[in-house]
Structure formats: C-alpha cells, structure tokens
C-alpha cells in the first residue's frame, strides 16, 4: 500500500536523524589510510612579482586545495603520492597548471607566475550550473565579480554600491537618498507588471531576504501605522559586510537561471563569502576608512535669501543650512587560516555612517565565522554563520508630509517665518528634525553544507540553511510639535518584522569518463525553500503631555498584523555532454511545486538547453583571436505569484462603531500560475592578441508569458480588489558588451581599461482581453501632436514599455494672454528604465601608486519630475524665482513677478513634467599608495595600502532636478517619480588596508 | 569499502531524500490567517451583516467627499489635480472608481449575504430575521444612493446599465420588501431607515403624495448615521478635509465672510444668528495643504469616528416642505421650514405676510443647505432641483458643466 503523503512526510522527518547518524557512522570507514606528501609554493604576478593573495590552488582529481595568502604562499598537505597536477586560478589572470611529483612525507614545490588575462574562461562557477564547472563549458552568459579586487580600488560600505556600473545588464542605483535607504536593483529590464523586480539573492547557497520595501500599513484599515520614512524603507542587502565577500556570481536571465525555477525570472545573484586557508597560521586583514558624506549643493533654493516672508524674515537657502558633513567610519578585521583538515574565516566589522542631511545615520555591526572540515577524501563539511545588526536612523523622505528636504525645497520663500525659514509647505523643518525614526535589524544567516564524494566521478552535496531577519522599527512624533494627521498631541509607532527563509538543497553530480571523445556530466537534485514574513504594528496617538513616549501611554492605540508564507519545492536534472573538450551541450529541466500556485494548477516545468563551442585550438581562427568561445542558450524561469493571491477571501474590518465585521477582499484565482519567461541568448567570449583584450558580447531576447495583471472586476460583482490573472505578455531584448584590456603592462606601469555597455528594450506585447482602447496623443515630429489610441489596462499601454511615462503636454502658448494650453490627452514621454547604459573604468598603476576612475552613463529613461512643477506652483524654486525682477521690489522688499515668471507658473499649472534621466556620472575615483613591504614588515604588517577615494562625485544631466536617479519610493516599486526624494550624497574617504600575521 | 558499495549507498541516500521530499506535498499548502474564506462566514452571520452595512458606509464617505467638493459647499485647498478638476466641475470618468462603484459592491455583498442567511437559517426563518432586515435595507439603500447620484448603473451583477429612474423604482420596491421583513422581525430601526429611504425614493420618482406620507410617518427623533470607527480611516471627510488631518478640501470661499470664527459657526444669512447646524473651524493662518489657500474646516465631523447622517427627521421635514411648496401650500411649507429653524435655535421666518413662492423656495434652499451641510446630498439635490447653474453663478463660477454632464460620472 502506498502511504499517504502526510505519513510519508512524517516518516521522512522521523528518518532524518537516522540518516544523519548513518552518515556520521560511515565517516570513520570512509577515512582511508594513504601515503601522502605535501605541495607548497608561491603565486605571483608575472609582470611585477607582486604576490597574489586569494588565488585558488587545487590538486586535480582530489578534494585537496588551498588559497594563497597575502604573501602569495600556499601549502597543501596530505596529497596522494605520485604525479599530481596542480592548478591555479585567479580572476583576471590566466589559469596555470603544473605537474609535481609527490613523495611520501616529501614536499613538492610548485611556483606560479600568473600573467594578466582579459579572458576568464577557465574560471570555475557554480550558480545555476548544477555543480562546479569552468565558464568555457557553459552556454549561457554569467557575470562574476571579485569583491577583493573591487575593494582593492576603493572601499565599499554597501553591497549594492559594489554592483553599480560594473556588470553589463545589472542596474544598481541609489534612489531616495539618505544612508541605509533602498536601492533599485534590476537585471535586464523589467519582466513583470506586478511582482518585485529584484533578482533573488543567495549567500553561500542559502536563500536570503533581499527586500527593500517600506513595510508598515499592516492593519486592514491602514491605521496601525504609516510609511515610517516615506516609502523607501531600508535595504536588507545593506546588512551585509562587503569585506566578507569573496566573489559574486550573477545569472542575468531565464536562460541561465532555469535551475532556480519559479523565483528566477529576474535573475539570480549568489554571494560567496571568504573561506579559510589550509595549512596556514592566522592571517589578519584590517581595513579602516574614514571620511564624510556631503550632498552636492544643487538644491533649487539658492535664490531664497533674496526673498522675505510677511514679517520681513529673510528666507534660508537649503544649500547653506541643511547640507552638512556626515561622518563615515568603517573598521573591519578578519582572520583566515587553518590546519590540514579544518580551515576558518572569522571576521568582525563596524560601520558608522551619517547622512549629509540630518538626522540620518546607519550603524552596522557584522560577525562572521566560516568553517570547513575536510573529514576525508569523501566527506567535507562547511558551516557558515553570520550575524549582523543594522540600525538606521532613517531620513524622512519620499512622498511624505514629513519629507525633510521636500519641505525645504517645495516651499515659498515669500511666506518664510522664523519657525518656517524655507516657507515650508506642510511642516517646519525644525519639527521634522525632531522626529526619530529607527530601524533596528538583527539578522542571522547560516547553514551547513555537506559534500560526499564516494567516487571521483560521483559527488553529493546537501545544504541546509536559514536566514532570519528581525527588524524593529519605531517612530516618535513628539508632543507639542504639529504634524499632519496627528496635530500637536504626538504619536508613537512601533513595528516588528520577522522574515525567515529556510533553504534545503541537494545536488548530485556524476562525471562519466570520455569515450570516443564524448564526456558526460549528469546532475540531479532538489531545492526547496520556505519563507515566512510576520509584521506587527502598534500605534499610540495622543499624549497628555511631554514625557511619556510609549504606545501604551497614548490616548488612542491601534494595532495590526500581517503574515505571509510561501513554500517552493523543485526537482531538477541536467546532462552536459562534451565532445573533445571543445563542444559542450547541456540540457536540463526543473519541475516546481509552489504554495502560491493556484489550486487548479499543478506543477511547473522549466526546460533549458545550452551549447558552448570552444574554438581556441582551431587552426582556422585568425592569429589575432587567441581565444574564442561561442555560446547560445535557451531556457525558462518563472516568478511565483504573491503568497495568498490565489485565495478568495473576505477581510476582517472594523465597521459601524467599533464592531467586528467582514468585507469582500480578494476575489482570488484558483488558476494562478507563475509568470514564465522564456529567454534565448547568444554571444561570444573572445580573447584578442594573446588574451590581452577580452571581449564578451551577448544578445538576448526574453518573452514573459502569463504575466500577472490586475483585472478590474465589474463593481456589481462585489470585490473591490482587482483579480490577479495570468493575462499579460512582456518582451525584453537587448545586448551586453564588455571589453577589458591592459594596453600597457610593464613591471613599473600598468594601465587597465574596463568598458561595459548594455541596451535594453522593454515592450508590453499583450494586456489580455480585458484591455480597452484609450485615446492618447503622440508628438508628430513637427512640433505638434497627433491623436491616436492604444490598448490600455491598469496603467499599462500595449506596445510600450511597462509603466512608461505619459502626460498631457503643453501644445501652445498665447503671448497676448501669457497662457498655455495643453493636449487633450496623455502624450507618450518615454520608458522609465534606461535603454542604454555604459561604464568606463580606468586603472593606472605606477610603482606603488594607483589611480582609478569609473565613469557611468544612462540614456533613454524618463521620470515624473513632480518636484519641479510643484515648487513652481507653490511659488518657489530657483527656476521660477530667478525669472523675477530683482530691480523692482514690492512693499515687502521682494522681487516682483515678471511676464516670464507668470508664464512659467501657468506652464506648470497645466503640465506635470516628464524629464530625462540621461546623465553622465563621475561615479568613483581613487588614488592608492602601497606602502613598501620592507617598511611595513618592520612593524609586523604585510601589504598595506593607503587610499583616498570619492564616490558619486559629479554628474552632468538635463533633468531639472537634483539628481536624475532620484526616486521617492523603493527600488522595487514602479513609482518612477522624483517627488520629494533626495539625491545620493557624495562620499569622500581615506582608507587603510593592511595584513599581518601568518 | 568498495567504490561500488559507496556509490550504492550514496545513491540510496539521495533517492531516499528525494522520496521524502516528494512525499511532503502538503508542505505546499498554506493558509492566510488574516482573511476569512467564504465557508468561515457561515459561522459569523452577524459579523457578515454588519460588514454589509459597513461596506455601504465605507463607500458613502467617498461620495460625501466628492459630492461636497462638487457642490457649493467645498473647494479644493490641496495639491491633487483630480480634486482641482472636481472643484471646477471638470468631472471625469476616472473619478468614478471610488464612488458609485462602491454602492454597487455594497449591493452585491448585501445580496450575497441574503443568500447566505437563507442557506444557513432556512428560507422561512431568514425572512423573519433581523439579519435579513438589515442586509435587505442596505441593498435597497445602495440602489437608492446610486440612483440619486449617478445617471445609470446595472440592476444585477454584470448586467446591462439601466437609468437612474429605473434603478430608483427598483430601490423603492426593495425598500418596501425590507420594511416588510423588518416589521416581521421587529427590527424597528431598519424599518424606519427603509421608510425614510422610501420617502426619498418617492420624492425622486415624483410620487409626491407618497413621499409626503412616508416622510410624515418617520418618527420625529429619527436619525440614521453612516457610521465610522475611530479605529478606521474610511471617514474621508475627516481624514482628508479637516483641521488636524489632511486639509486638501475646505469650505468654499463664498462662505468665509459669513463665518464667526470665534463661535465656529456660520451666521444665518437672514438674521445673523449663529447656526449650529453649520459648524466651521478657522484659526487665522490655517492653510490648506497647498500652502496657499486659507483653510476653513468643516467642523461637523471632528474625528475619524464621527458619523455622517445618512437620513434623519430634519430631512423628512425638508421633503414635507418641498412637497407642500410644490402643491402650492406655502403656509405648510413655511411651517415645516420654521420648525427646522426653531429647532436649531434660529428665529423663524415671518409668515405674515406669507412670502411668495419664490421666496419660500429660497428659504427652502438655504434650510436644505444648513440642515444637510456636508452630508453629501447637496450636489445631487442641486441637480434634482435644477439649481446647479444658478447656485454656481451666485458664487462666481457660472461656467461649470451642465448637471447631466456631471452626473455621467461613473458610467
């Protein structure tokens, strides 16, 4: 008899301890006695002899390996006797191998001088490939980033910053301003109307919370709180300590991320943290950075001091009075080392950062311990454990009455008073500065990975992990100050969010020896995650007086709670066939079940296939091409609906005079299925002139079917919520190009160049049968507008990009009346995401000095520049006030309006501007000096680098705004509006990196 | 251990893990603990019925806000462009989303609940249940309010649209049915509420004698509120247009000079006496959200839990006055109007000599303004009485669209 699923499940759980026990009991029998020796050596840069730290050295065909230390040294013990192949890989350098003869108890030596290589096809990757594999064997494009090399050029405090302008197709930009606030992180455009745009994030194989939304309104009626700081929220990616990260692998699309199934259509980012070093005494690395954040002084209030309020009070310029130096301080210390079998990496870090507009700061502490135990040739165990505490005093920003900069910028200086010196439109800046808004997140991420290799051709890897985020938020509007909705009686808000993700992942791989030139690698496994999120809120409003600041001390109290839960279980299999180590063809499939799929929907299968052709050795290649891989991939990935979207539900609500009632809530859809993106991509990776120039190009075409859309139900059907349905279709296509080269590479001088470019075109192909024709207008190219119509549904226009910008534009001006007229209908303005981005990094190294600069650009995006029109309509802003007649003062001493200023006022009463986000940005600059080793050694230190750096230094734009990347809500939202947002600060740092010990 | 045995054992372990994983299909079943399923509601009929009534009220506050902004009571003092359009009579379809659609949703829920009550209690018990009286009255009032405010709406779920007159006729039948069940169940409150509604329906349909009879049958102390919770946010009049909250809308500038800002009341235009029916708050310096316009706040509803009168005896007196005026009984009309004035503490209008018909109507219009101040009815009544152009011409905005254009909102 087949047991029921419940019994089966409970049996499996009961058997789990037995399984573990069986494995442990098997251990001793698996440790076999063998005659061994050791391999030692050094890895250096061939051109200048500089030691290379962190190079991966492995003994082929065994589990033995090591990382080079800060002096480039390595030692591998218990290497089986005989001739062994030692392999060294290091990102940015060519892979080398050497054969050594290992004798019993002897020490074989293998030294390596690596040369810079712009092509990294031998680099081993693991994400989405069902096991470790060299890049040259993979038919899909995958980006990798060595964090050590990034940090070497300039210190990075935030992981999101490390991703910006470095990887083609990956867009990571700060949005709302203020330290600790969210970023926009997307890969290859937008593939969903309704769901989160962020790629899924893994750390060492464990799925983690990478969210950045402003949680808050958790009660049904929305009264239990608010948006704490204006809609952006904190970014959970900023919990990470960038110094803990060894490398990052990025899967950009469905073709590469198929094996991640129903969560991967936005791409996958996997972070690998640092590991210990075998046979190495503790080696310490210390980093410290100190400096300031300072906003660029381009706030539109420079004319304000020329105006006076009704009482004669001279208005203030926010550039002079709000921009301050925000202190930045970072310290981190790590130790790497280990014995033959057990290695460790431990680290601790503290980061303090103040915003340039205060109050706003972030304090973050991180602890990490990574252990790895090679129990035998068959068994290894890795344990990762990381704790962080990330406390942010959030800046009041975004679409928010209390937006600090917004109140200073959108006011009217002619109404300035001593209490409201900027002529604040809603709340005085001094009152806002007294609001304390905290987020205090405690986070633990950890897991255990067991690798069992019963035979060289067969391995099993099992990973269990958990990510737990406890975020407590609080906000106090103190008694006595006036706040919108609250008055002067004060309010206290408390929030608690626990987000927990459990990951279980099994991977089996089998390698079959080549026969007649054909090799085969078979992989299979299962992957599951269980994520829950529980948010609780409490609000107390109305204190009797100052002194009491607790929720319970208020006259009115409200509470709310929100819970979400999603479970995904997937099975996958993959077969990679190779021919003469030149052609690699991979076919795979992933089958998912997910708790968010509708009741009527079953499992979802995602197939993939990719082909890679390594043409290096072919004679027909012209001499200029030293290395060439041609690749192509076709695959699917999905995105599951919201946790409870499928259910038809009624919500509890307080009705009448505080009576419990219910109300129709979600109409539900039992047929809900995941959004499915099918992507085809092709390209090549080439090395030119003996791999001095690396060239990588990818073209992709992705079509997302069954995209979720909110369908309006007829009101007479009762439900006010829209019905989610798989009705839409979206297209993303584009290309990515990266060129890296070292044009000059001598012992004393090196010049490296990295150029990245990408283009993306997003289009809505279908809005389903609920879409209706809507009359719109287009620019006719002759200065006028033509009337047309488009299919429209819920804020989307078929044939145009998702959330493209439309507005009624000014079509004429009558000089006699000094008034404008606007179009009758919305006019297409453009897409919300850039259609082209590029970045150019140059690194010049001369002896001990290094100069680095990164310039980036974005082109094609349009945003709603609400601040611009708003401040004019309020009677403020330099754009408007600078048109006044400063020689013609009114009775209050204020300059007088002119025909031009009146015209502009009229213009913006009719036009909600859509401006361009196009810009070029000097994003990063650094100057480094490596202190001579003979000097540092005297004090017991190793390689020591002093760095002066600046980030986000300057930008050239045409946006009529403070920063074209401004956005008031979090990066995952579709609120592509600069309204009330704040630009990112410039950052200036002095840093010291040094190593000691070992 | 031989390699084969290791392989075998590894394979078995892997297969077992997969088998166990595949067996845990129930892991994919989750529940939403913060929402009810339809089955849950059978166990909570009273909460469902209260929810039905609450649904009507939560729709009504939207209408009250828009109707107030669209009449001569309020003006836009905020930054929302849509509201500015409303203020100046530029009504458009998009704004219908939060107005008559809410009434239709409340009606669906009321009808769905009627079926639920019948299923749970049985047909005969249901038809003598206060629960049934409650939800049937709500159903009828949803159609009544919809017909009063909007040109057309479907009579059944996803059905074709019918005219306001046709919908009002249906509402009148539904009100009569609700009265029958309320009487059978002893639900006096709902009986009176349905009766007052039928008076309004009859007035709309031009059946003036029936309207007068119904209005006179309503008890003198009758008052039915659209109710709101202090713990809710649905009383939009408070949350977006009241001092201490958002101040996106305020009393129209036309009335400012007649406000006694110390007593916080409008002065009666005929006697200069303070009219407690029109409370208005203003402190010098109070500004709307736009930061430019002085904000005179309605002060009838001061907190989120403030209830909005939906129907009351004062309104019945207005119906009586209107019908009598239409019948040429000016004395009777003046008696009804003076009843309202003296009840409010104001001096009665002189009836000797008896004012002419035009003056009586003028008195009626002002008493209607005061008695129904910010109750969301003036916009619809101005239309019904053909007074939109005249009233807005009087306050300096003669170019507003014609009433019929306005009332196509929500089609």
With CA atoms as reference, report the closest residue to A642 among A604, A592, A601, A596: A596
What confidence tier does A120 reach under pLDDT thresholds 50, 70, 90?
confident
pLDDT confidence of residue A35 = 82
Using an 8 Å Cβ cutoff, are A511 and A61 in contact?
A: no
Please give the residue that has the higher pLDDT: either A851 or A978.
A851
Mean pLDDT is lowest, of A333-347, B78-92, B315-329, for B78-92
What confidence tier does B92 reach under pLDDT thresholds 50, 70, 90?
low
Q: What is the pLDDT of residues A223-236, one digit of tens each?
A: 556 678 876 778 89
Which residues face A683 on adjacent strands?
A631, A698
Contacts of B23 in chain A (CB under 8 A): 3, 5, 8-9, 11-12
B 120-179 residues inside an 8 A Cβ radius of A: 153-154, 156-159
Q: What is the DSSP string of A227-276?
A: -SSSS--B-GGGGS-GGGEEEEEEE-SHHHHGGGTTB-TT-EEEEEE---
Please give the residue that has the higher pLDDT: either A610 or A90.
A610
Using an 8 Å Cβ cutoff, are A933 and A942 in contact?
A: yes
* Residues B342, B351: Cα–Cα separation, whole Å: 14
What confidence tier does A4 reach under pLDDT thresholds 50, 70, 90?
very low
Q: Rounded mean pLDDT of A946-959?
A: 96
Q: Which residue of B has its CA nearest to A872?
A: B290
Q: Rounded mean pLDDT of A701-724?
A: 89
Nearest to A593 among B28, B81, B307 (CB): B28
| Residue pointed to by tokens 């630009």 | A983
pLDDT confidence of residue A616 = 67
Q: Rounded mean pLDDT of B294-314?
A: 94
Contacts of A672 in chain B (CB under 8 A): none
pLDDT confidence of residue B93 = 54
d(CA A570, nearest CA chain B) in Å: 9
* Residues A237, A172: Cα–Cα separation, whole Å: 12
Mean pLDDT is lowest, of A538-542, A713-717, B278-282, for A713-717
pLDDT confidence of residue B289 = 81
Strand A112-114, strand A170-174: pairing: unpaired
Using an 8 Å Cβ cutoff, are A613 and A586 in contact?
A: no
Which site among B100, B105, B117, B243 would you substitute to test the A interface, given the most A Cβ atoms closer than 10 Å to its Cβ? B105
Which range of A323-327, A617-621, B23-27 scores highest in mean pLDDT? It is A323-327
Contacts of B38 in chain A (CB under 8 A): 648, 650
pLDDT confidence of residue B19 = 58
pLDDT confidence of residue B15 = 60
Residue A19: pLDDT above 50? no
With CA atoms as reference, report the closest residue to A443 among A395, A501, A388: A388
Residue A255: pLDDT above 60? yes
pLDDT confidence of residue A175 = 78
* Residues A516, A559: Cα–Cα separation, whole Å: 70
Query: What is the gyration radius of the CA atoms in chain B, in angstroms?
Result: 27
Q: What is the pLDDT of residues B213-228, one digit of tens each?
A: 999 999 999 999 999 8
**Inter-axis angle of helices B208-217 and B313-326, to 10 degrees?**
150
Residue B18: pLDDT above 80? no
Q: Rounded mean pLDDT of B45-61?
A: 93
**Ramachandran quadrant class, B352 (left: phi over 0; alpha: psi -120 to 50; beta: rest):** beta
Contacts of A261 in chain B (CB under 8 A): none
Asked if A566's CB is within 8 angstroms of B30's CB, the reply is yes
Q: Rounded mean pLDDT of A245-269?
A: 93
Contact with chain A for residue B15, Cβ under 8 A = no
* Residues B333, B361: Cα–Cα separation, whole Å: 9
Q: Rounded mean pLDDT of B61-87?
A: 85
Q: B355-359: list long-range contacts, CB under 8 Å, 24+ apart.
A: B355/B330, B356/B330, B357/B325, B357/B328, B357/B330
- Element (DSSP H or E) covering residue A886: strand A885-889
pLDDT confidence of residue B151 = 81
* Residues A803, A795: Cα–Cα separation, whole Å: 7
Residue B349: pLDDT above 80? yes
Asked if A874's CB is within 8 angstroms of B23's CB, the reply is no
Q: Which residue of A has its CA nearest to B20?
A: A12
Contacts of A530 in chain B (CB under 8 A): 27
pLDDT confidence of residue B406 = 45
Residue A975: pLDDT above 70? no
Contacts of A649 in chain B (CB under 8 A): 32, 35-37
The torsion angles phi and psi of B243, rounded to 5 degrees, stand at: -50, 135
Which residues face A820 on adjacent strands?
A813
Asked if B233's CB is within 8 angstroms of A221's CB, the reply is yes
What confidence tier does B395 reach under pLDDT thresholds 50, 70, 90?
confident
Residue B403: pLDDT above 50? no
What confidence tier does A828 reach under pLDDT thresholds 50, 70, 90?
very high
Using an 8 Å Cβ cutoff, are A944 and A931 in contact?
A: yes
Contacts of A661 in chain B (CB under 8 A): 47-48, 50-54
Residue B189: pLDDT above 80? yes
Asked if B305's CB is within 8 angstroms of A651's CB, the reply is no
For residues A719-728, one letter each, b for 16 or more C-beta atoms within 10 angstroms of the residue's C-beta and e for the rest, the string is: bbbbbbbbbb
* Residues A716, B157: Cα–Cα separation, whole Å: 5
Asked if A569's CB is within 8 angstroms of B21's CB, the reply is yes
Asked if B245's CB is within 8 angstroms of A716's CB, the reply is no
Q: What is the pLDDT of residues A835-886, one digit of tens each?
A: 999 999 999 999 999 999 999 999 999 999 989 998 998 899 999 999 999 9
- Which pair of tokens denotes residue A53? 């730290």
Q: Which residue of A has its CA nearest to B15?
A: A525
Asked if A221's CB is within 8 angstroms of B25's CB, the reply is no
Which residues face B265 on adjacent strands?
B260, B279
Mean pLDDT is lowest, of A970-974, B249-253, B320-324, for A970-974
pLDDT confidence of residue A233 = 79
- Which pair of tokens denotes residue A776? 């719109």
* Residues A524, A522: Cα–Cα separation, whole Å: 7
Q: What is the pLDDT of residues A391-434, one digit of tens each?
A: 999 988 887 888 999 999 998 999 999 999 999 988 999 999 99
Q: Rounded mean pLDDT of A199-210?
A: 95
Using an 8 Å Cβ cutoff, are A155 and A141 in contact?
A: no
Q: Rounded mean pLDDT of A161-172?
A: 93
Burial level of A933, CB count in 10 A (0-12/13-18/19+)?
middle
Mean pLDDT is lowest, of A21-30, A216-225, A629-638, B394-403, for A21-30
Contacts of A683 (CB under 8 A, 6+ apart): A141, A630, A631, A632, A696, A697, A698, A699, A736
Asked if B35's CB is within 8 angstroms of A651's CB, the reply is yes
Which site among A20, A218, A454 would you substitute to test the B interface, given the most B Cβ atoms closer than 10 Å to its Cβ? A454
Nearest to A454 among B6, B16, B53 (CB): B6
Q: What is the dihedral of CA B104, B108, B114, B117, to 10 degrees?
A: -130
- Mean confidence (pLDDT) of chain A: 89
Q: Rounded mean pLDDT of A553-578?
A: 92
- Mean confidence (pLDDT) of chain B: 88
pLDDT confidence of residue A491 = 92
d(CA A137, nearest CA chain B) in Å: 26
CA pseudo-torsion sign A59, A65, A71, A72:
positive
CB atoms closer than 10 angstroms to residue B7? 15
Contact with chain A for residue B294, Cβ under 8 A = no
Strand A361-374, strand A342-354: pairing: antiparallel
Please tell me the number of Cα atoms within 13 Å of A989 on its side-chain side: 33
What confidence tier does A484 reach under pLDDT thresholds 50, 70, 90?
confident
Residue A12: pLDDT above 60? no
Question: CA-based diameter of chain B, in Å?
Answer: 121
With CA atoms as reference, report the closest residue to B31 among A593, A662, A564: A564
Query: What is the gyration radius of the CA atoms in chain A, in angstroms?
Result: 30
pTM over cut 0.90: no
With CA atoms as reference, report the closest residue to A169 among A266, A272, A245: A266
**Ramachandran quadrant class, B150 (left: phi over 0; alpha: psi -120 to 50; beta: rest):** beta
Contacts of B241 in chain A (CB under 8 A): none
pLDDT confidence of residue A92 = 81
Q: What is the pLDDT of residues A808-820, one digit of tens each?
A: 999 999 999 999 9
With CA atoms as reference, report the closest residue to A441 among A394, A493, A477, A402: A394
CA distances from A582 to A132, A615, A616, B224 (A): 18, 7, 9, 83
3 state DSSP class of A553: helix
With CA atoms as reference, report the closest residue to A337 among A383, A387, A275, A379: A275
Q: What is the pLDDT of residues A435-469, one digit of tens each?
A: 999 999 999 999 999 999 998 889 999 999 999 99
**Inter-axis angle of helices B313-326 and B357-371, to 10 degrees?**
160
């Amino acid at each position: 008899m087949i047991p029921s699923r419940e019994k089966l499940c409970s049996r499996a759980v009961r058997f789990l301890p037995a399984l573990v026990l069986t494995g442990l009991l098997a251990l001793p029998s698996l440790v076999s006695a063998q005659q061994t020796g050791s391999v030692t050596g050094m890895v250096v840069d061939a051109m200048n002899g500089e030691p290379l730290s962190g190079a991966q050295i492995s003994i082929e065909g065994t589990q033995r390996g090591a990382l080079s230390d800060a002096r480039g040294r390595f030692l591998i013990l218990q290497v089986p006797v005989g001739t062994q192949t030692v392999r060294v890989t290091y990102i940015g350098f060519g892979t080398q191998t050497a054969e050594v003869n290992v004798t019993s108890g002897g020490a074989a030596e293998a030294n390596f001088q690596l040369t810079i290589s712009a092509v990294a096809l031998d680099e081993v990757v693991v994400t989405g490939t069902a096991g470790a594999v060299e890049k040259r064997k993979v038919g899909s494009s995958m980006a990798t980033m060595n964090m050590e090399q990034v940090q070497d050029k300039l210190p990075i405090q935030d992981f999101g910053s490390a991703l910006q302008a470095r990887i083609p197709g990956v867009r990571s930009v700060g949005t709302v301003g203020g330290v600790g606030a969210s970023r926009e992180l997307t890969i290859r455009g937008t593939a969903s109307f309704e769901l989160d745009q962020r790629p899924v994030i893994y750390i060492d194989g464990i799925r983690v919370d990478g969210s950045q939304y402003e949680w808050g309104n958790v009660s049904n009626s929305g009264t239990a709180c608010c948006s704490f700081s204006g809609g952006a929220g904190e970014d959970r990616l900023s919990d990470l300590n960038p110094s803990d990260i060894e490398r990052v692998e990025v899967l950009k699309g469905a073709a590469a991320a198929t094996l991640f199934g129903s969560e991967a259509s936005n791409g996958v980012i996997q972070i690998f943290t640092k590991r210990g070093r075998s046979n190495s005494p503790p080696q310490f690395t210390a980093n410290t950075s100190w400096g300031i954040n300072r906003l660029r002084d381009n706030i539109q209030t420079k004319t304000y001091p020329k105006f006076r309020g009704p009482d004669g009070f001279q208005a203030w310029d926010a550039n002079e009075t709000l921009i301050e130096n925000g202190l930045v301080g970072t310290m981190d210390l790590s130790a790497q080392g280990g014995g033959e079998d057990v290695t460790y990496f431990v680290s601790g870090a503290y980061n303090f950062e103040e915003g340039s507009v205060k109050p706003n700061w972030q304090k973050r502490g991180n602890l990490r311990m990574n252990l790895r135990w090679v129990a035998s040739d068959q068994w290894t165990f890795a344990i990762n454990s990381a704790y962080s505490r990330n406390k942010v005093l959030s800046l009041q920003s975004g679409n928010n009455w209390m937006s600090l900069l917004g109140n200073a910028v959108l006011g009217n200086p002619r109404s300035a008073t001593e209490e409201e010196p900027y002529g604040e439109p809603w709340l005085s800046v001094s009152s806002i500065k007294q609001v304390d808004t905290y987020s205090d997140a405690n986070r633990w991420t950890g897991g255990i990975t067991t690798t069992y290799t019963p035979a060289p051709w067969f391995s099993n890897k099992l990973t269990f992990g958990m990510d737990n985020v406890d975020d407590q938020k609080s906000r106090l509007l103190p008694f006595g100050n006036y706040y919108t909705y609250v008055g002067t009686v004060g309010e206290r808000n408390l929030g608690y969010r626990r987000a927990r993700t459990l990951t279980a992942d099994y991977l089996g791989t089998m390698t079959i020896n080549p026969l007649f030139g054909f090799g085969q690698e078979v992989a299979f496994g299962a992957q599951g995650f269980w994520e829950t999120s529980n948010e609780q809120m409490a609000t107390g409003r109305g204190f009797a007086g100052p002194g009491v600041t607790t929720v319970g001390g208020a006259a009115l109290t409200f509470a709310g709670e929100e819970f979400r839960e999603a479970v995904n279980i997937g099975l996958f299999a993959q077969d990679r066939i190779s021919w003469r180590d030149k052609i690699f063809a991979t076919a795979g499939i992933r089958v998912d079940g997910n708790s968010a799929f509708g009741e009527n929907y079953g499992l979802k299968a995602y197939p993939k296939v990719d082909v890679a052709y390594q043409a290096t050795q072919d004679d027909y290649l012209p001499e200029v091409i030293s290395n060439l891989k041609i690749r192509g991939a076709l695959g699917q990935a999905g995105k599951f609906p919201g946790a409870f979207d499928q259910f038809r539900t009624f919500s509890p609500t307080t009705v009448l005079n505080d009576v419990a009632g219910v109300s129709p809530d979600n109409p539900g859809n039992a047929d809900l299925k995941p959004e499915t993106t099918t992507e085809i991509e092709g390209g090549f990776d080439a090395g030119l002139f003996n791999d001095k120039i690396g060239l990588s190009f990818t073209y992709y075409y992705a079509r997302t079917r069954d995209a979720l859309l909110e369908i309006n139900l007829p009101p007479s059907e009762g439900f006010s919520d829209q019905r989610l349905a798989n009705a839409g279709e979206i297209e993303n296509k584009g290309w990515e190009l990266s060129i890296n080269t070292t044009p000059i590479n001598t012992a004393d001088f090196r010049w490296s160049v990295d150029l990245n470019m990408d283009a993306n075109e997003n289009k809505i192909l279908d809005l389903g049968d609920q879409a209706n024709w809507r009359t719109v207008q287009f620019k006719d190219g002759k200065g006028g507008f033509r009337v047309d119509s488009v299919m429209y549904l819920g804020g989307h226009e078929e044939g145009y990009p998702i959330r493209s910008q439309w507005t009624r534009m000014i079509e004429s001006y009558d000089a006699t009346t000094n008034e404008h007229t606007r179009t009758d209908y919305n006019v297409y303005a453009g897409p919300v995401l850039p259609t082209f981005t590029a970045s150019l990094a140059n690194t010049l190294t001369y002896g001990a000095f290094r100069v680095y600069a990164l310039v980036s650009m974005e082109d094609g995006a349009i945003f709603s520049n609400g601040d611009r029109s708003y401040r004019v309509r309020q009677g403020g802003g330099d754009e408007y006030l600078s048109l006044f007649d400063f020689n013609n003062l009114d009775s209050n001493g204020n300059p007088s309006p002119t025909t031009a200023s009146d015209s502009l006022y009229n213009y913006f009463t009719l036009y909600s501007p859509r401006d361009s986000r196009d810009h070029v940005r000097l994003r990063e600059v650094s100057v480094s000096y490596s202190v001579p080793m003979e000097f540092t050694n005297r004090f017991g230190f190793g390689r020591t680098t002093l760095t002066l750096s600046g980030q986000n230094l300057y930008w050239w734009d045409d946006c009529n705004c403070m920063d074209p990347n401004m956005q008031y809500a979090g990066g995952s939202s579709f609120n592509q509006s600069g309204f009330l947002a704040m630009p990112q600060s410039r950052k200036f740092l002095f840093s010291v990196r040094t190593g000691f010990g070992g | 251990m031989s390699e084969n045995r290791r392989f075998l054992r590894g394979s078995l372990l892997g297969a077992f893990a997969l088998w166990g994983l595949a067996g845990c299909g129930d892991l994919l079943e989750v529940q939403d603990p913060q929402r009810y399923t339809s089955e849950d509601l059978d166990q909570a009929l009273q909460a469902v019925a209260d929810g039905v009534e609450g649904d009507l009220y939560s729709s009504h506050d939207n209408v009250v806000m828009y109707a107030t902004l669209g009449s001569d009571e309020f003006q836009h003092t905020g930054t929302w462009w849509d509201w500015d359009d409303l203020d100046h009579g530029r009504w458009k379809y998009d704004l219908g989303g939060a107005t008559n659609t809410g009434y239709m949703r409340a009606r669906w829920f009321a009808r769905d609940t009627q079926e639920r009550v019948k299923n749970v209690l049985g047909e005969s018990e249901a038809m003598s249940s206060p629960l049934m009286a409650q939800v049937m009255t709500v159903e009828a009032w949803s159609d009544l309010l919809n017909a009063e405010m909007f040109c057309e709406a479907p009579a059944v779920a996803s059905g074709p649209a019918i005219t306001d007159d046709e919908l009002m006729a249906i509402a009148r039948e539904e009100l009569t049915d609700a009265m029958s069940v309320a009487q059978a169940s002893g639900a006096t409150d709902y009986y009176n509420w349905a009766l007052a509604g039928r008076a309004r329906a009859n007035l709309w349909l031009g059946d003036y004698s029936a309207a007068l009879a119904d209005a006179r049958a309503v008890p003198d102390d009758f008052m039915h509120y659209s109710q709101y919770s202090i713990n809710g946010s649905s009383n939009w009049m408070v949350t977006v247009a009241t001092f201490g909250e958002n101040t996106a809308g305020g009393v129209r500038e036309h009335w400012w000079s007649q406000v006694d800002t110390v007593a916080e009341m409008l002065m009666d235009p005929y006697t200069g006496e303070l009219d407690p029916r029109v409370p208005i708050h203003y402190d010098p310096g109070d500004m709307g959200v736009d930061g430019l316009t002085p904000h005179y706040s309605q002060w009838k509803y001061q907190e989120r839990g403030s209830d909005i009168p939906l129907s009351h005896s004062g309104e019945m007196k207005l119906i009586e006055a209107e019908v009598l005026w239409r019948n040429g009984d000016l004395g009777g009309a003046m008696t009804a109007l003076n009843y309202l004035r003296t009840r409010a503490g104001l001096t009665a209008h002189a009836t000797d000599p008896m004012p002419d018909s035009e003056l009586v109507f003028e008195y009626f219009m002002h008493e209607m303004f005061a008695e129904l101040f910010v109750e969301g009815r003036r916009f619809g009544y101005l239309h019904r009485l053909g007074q939109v152009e005249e009233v807005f011409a009087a306050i300096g905005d003669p170019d507003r669209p014609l009433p019929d254009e306005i009332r196509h909102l929500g089609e």
